[in-house]
Structure 1
Amino acid sequence: MPPSCDRGIDRAPSPEPDRHDLIVRLPEWRPREPAHRLVPALSVLGDGVAGFRFEMSVYSSGAWSPWLAGATVGRGSFPAAATRSDTLACEVDEFIASAPAERVRLILRVNPAAPDAPLAAPWFVSLSAWSPTAPPGQVPGSGVRLAVPPLSQMEEDAAIRNRICSPSSVAMVLAYYGAPIAVADLAREIFQPELDLYGVWPAAVRAAGRRGVAGYLLRFPDWSTAAWCLEQGMPIIASVRYGPGELTDAAIAETSGHLLVLTGYEGDDVLVNDPAAPRADAVARRYRLEELRRVWLARTGVGYVLFAPVRSGNRPSSAL
């Protein structure tokens, strides 16, 4: 975790039964600054969870919001729950507060793969919170290059190739960590049929965990935070959005939402594996740092950070 974003690790409470599900009531959390946008994620190493969803309530303007539910990831027939109120709304994988949240309550609802051993595998929950602001200017550095194998989504089945930037990016990073998987296989696993989406962020983190690669979702506040991850040997799967002419030599001319892999930086350039390139030999690219800051950090700023965990026991924890 980048030091500028690290809030430490709290031990998670034990799961408790709730009808046919298990729930984990995570400790109440306060962001450094009141935040409008919140993105939770669950990372489980192995197949310990068949499905899950997050439920959230926030404290702002002197009152707690109603509890709202995020999208279900994987298999789970959970109780019906609201996704929108006057003070808080969930947009698939992101909770958005109308007034900045001063405190956060979070529940993890789980459909365990093995009811007799719920959440037995190592796992953690992360939560990234922020309010939209302009990111600081670039921070110079000596540079780094990570050897992430290139994969093109455009070489996949024509029926889905334009929709699988997230599975393609995750497959590249899994191959980097020595856990290669065919893009088509990963796309089938990540696909959320109820939403008709391949790009649900927590589903990507879950799929990586099933292959022994941990991960979390992070809203990157600035370029130096991203550079820190790259310097630690961790590629970043970045969520970008741009119009025509905003990203020079981009693999696609414009997009309302696209995932690509940051693999390093050199001087004023960011090294990228862009899965929207037409062929694998065209995936590795250089984008201008100033332009990438605009189309990534100044917009969503969200990235998947996947990493090879250091195993020091199997105790569950929540990193909030």
Structure 2
Amino acid sequence: MTTPASRRTVLTAALAAAAGASPPSSAAPAAAAPPSAARPRPLVDNRFWNSGADWRGGEGAGTLIASGDRPALVIGTPAGRTRYTDPHTGRTADWEYARWTSPEHRPRVAATEVIASWNARTPAGTWLQIELSGTYDDGGTTPWFVMGRWAAGDADVRRTSVDGQSDGRSRVWTDTLSVGPSSGLRLVAYRLRLTLHRRPGTALTPSVWRVGAMASDIPDRFTVPASTPRVTRELVVPRYSQNIHIGRYPEYDNGGEAWCSPTSSQMVVEYWGRGPTPEDLAWVDPDFADPQVCHAARHTYDHRYEGCGNWPFNAAYAASYHDMNAVVTRLESLDRLESLVEAGIPAVTSQSFLERELTGAGYGTSGHLMTVVGFTPGGDVIANDPASPANDAVRRVYRRAEWETIWLRTKRYDAGGKVASGTGGVCYLFWPERPTAAQRKALAALGIG
């Protein structure tokens, strides 16, 4: 299987341009030198604001903190009005807004990439903008980069990323702020800024109960050392095929290969007992099987990217369901993923590979999402892989060392022998507001609470 150009890939063009070379056609990819044993260091930092104390620690302009089990930012007295022209509809409208800016966070990782994610509710007539500004290790600062303009629905504004933003040192690629690979710079601090919008003269308001980011500095590597199996468990997660939707809803990227991300997200949403109502699904053609997958595709679709593979948009979709939380992060090792599964938390993982690199897959891909649901007694990975011909074929068992490499590496060679990117362990994690003690512990070990 060859994936379409619209499938989500991470900085492929930038890495290829930076590398500027391809290996001999007969050469196997060489392993990157392992990090020095004398320089152990964290690779990933997670910081999410979600408590009353967190919200009070930031700077609000027109926001209030709504109390409850999940303290949330809402619009109080608007800070002002703004006019927004939606680039995807051409419609111009006035909006009242309020704004919250996080304190500066200095991650334990001097980062080459930062990915923001958020959990919010946006009733009709409201929407959000999420921005990020960082500080380089030479003291310079970035402008405020827009990391997303988001609403759960699509009647008021069209959900969109904003590609093309750059200060000559960093660049936003759909959902990822990346420091230029040739600059040698790192981001050592960042702030996030939320702008909550509503129709003027109304009492409507978005409600945001979590916002934050994953900062990382994953070393360049074509391979990773094989790990030792530790966990045997398989979670009972619904199984959905993306391929039964081929040709459906061209306005949301036409189903099939393009729907791996929402299909995987929907599996995990339903694992936690959530999902759309019959009323939510009334717009879907009644002749279509698994209409909830169509619904997930519509509600994760990024109108700028023209696809459903925007990572934070998938997390925000999952969190739109009752008492759910979701983040985009990276895991440093397969052991971290085993700990999550052991605690009962499946993960939606992002990887890319040639067909020969993953035995039993039957396809190659420049970017694909699947749901890891368990590990066999021998340590192999059990995945609900939506790139299957039917729902009853979705459960797959992949060889541990192969799967570990395609998920955790940051560089690979594509079918043409050119250097391309790997995701370096990117995944989505969804969990309920009241997790078990084991689930809370597994998340806390990642810096997620």
Match of 1:217 in 2: 328
What is the deviation of 1:112?
Answer: 4.8
Aligned equivalents of 2:139, 2:116: Cα separation in 1: 23
Match of 1:285 in 2: 396
Question: Are the structure 2 counterparts of residues 139 and 113 from structure 1 closer, same or farther at C-alpha, using a change threshold of 3 Å?
Answer: farther
Q: What are the equivalent positions in structure 2 for 1:125-204 lying under 5 Å apart?
A: 125-133=211-219, 134=221, 137-158=226-247, 159-181=254-276, 182-204=292-314
What is the deviation of 1:52?
Answer: 2.6
What is the deviation of 1:50?
Answer: 4.1
Match of 2:54 in 1: 11
Report which of the two has the higher share of strand.
Answer: 1
Match of 2:210 in 1: 124
Asked if 2 retains the 8 angstrom alpha-carbon contact of 1:28 and 1:104, the reply is yes
Match of 1:33 in 2: 109
Asked if 2 retains the 8 angstrom alpha-carbon contact of 1:69 and 1:82, the reply is no
Instruction: Please identify the structure whose Cα radius of gyration is greater.
Output: 2
Aligned partner of residue 142 in structure 1, secondary structure: coil
What is the deviation of 1:38?
Answer: 0.4
What is the deviation of 1:47?
Answer: 4.5
TM-score scaled by length of structure 1: 0.86
CA displacement, residues 75-114 of structure 1 (integer Å, 9 cap, x when unaligned) = 5489x99711112211111111232101112212333589
CA displacement, residues 134-177 of structure 1 (integer Å, 9 cap, x when unaligned) = 45642421311110010001111423222111110111111111
Asked if 2 retains the 8 angstrom alpha-carbon contact of 1:26 and 1:106, the reply is yes
For 1:103, which of 184, 189, 208 is the aligned residue?
189
Question: Are the structure 2 counterparts of residues 42 and 62 from structure 1 closer, same or farther at C-alpha, using a change threshold of 3 Å?
Answer: same
Q: What are the equivalent positions in structure 2 for 1:280-319 lying under 5 Å apart?
A: 280-298=391-409, 299-300=422-423, 301-310=425-434
Aligned equivalents of 1:69, 1:8: Cα separation in 2: 18
Question: Are the structure 2 counterparts of residues 254 and 236 from structure 1 closer, same or farther at C-alpha, using a change threshold of 3 Å?
Answer: same
Aligned partner of residue 179 in structure 2, secondary structure: strand
For 1:72, which of 138, 149, 155 is the aligned residue?
149
Question: Are the structure 2 counterparts of residues 53 and 82 from structure 1 closer, same or farther at C-alpha, using a change threshold of 3 Å?
Answer: farther
Match of 1:231 in 2: 342
Greater length-normalized contact order (CA 8 Å, ≥ 6 residues apart): 1
Match of 1:22 in 2: 98
The code of the aligned residue for 2:169 comes to T
CA displacement, residues 28-72 of structure 1 (integer Å, 9 cap, x when unaligned) = 111112010001100126759943332122111121122222232
Aligned equivalents of 1:46, 1:185: Cα separation in 2: 17
Asked if 2 retains the 8 angstrom alpha-carbon contact of 1:136 and 1:222, the reply is no
Question: Which consecutive unaligned segments of at least 5 residues does structure 2 have?
Answer: 1-43, 63-78, 82-95, 248-253, 277-291, 410-421, 436-447
The code of the aligned residue for 1:146 comes to L
Q: Which region of structure 1 is more displaced relative to structure 2, 62-71 or 297-306? A: 62-71
Question: Are the structure 2 counterparts of residues 140 and 191 from structure 1 closer, same or farther at C-alpha, using a change threshold of 3 Å?
Answer: same
Match of 1:207 in 2: 317
Aligned partner of residue 211 in structure 1, secondary structure: coil
Asked if 1 retains the 8 angstrom alpha-carbon contact of 2:106 and 2:189, the reply is yes
Aligned equivalents of 2:295, 2:210: Cα separation in 1: 25
Aligned equivalents of 2:113, 2:401: Cα separation in 1: 24
Aligned equivalents of 1:129, 1:151: Cα separation in 2: 31
TM-score scaled by length of structure 2: 0.63
- Cα RMSD over matched residues? 2.8
Question: Are the structure 2 counterparts of residues 199 and 111 from structure 1 closer, same or farther at C-alpha, using a change threshold of 3 Å?
Answer: farther
Q: Paired residues, what number?
A: 308
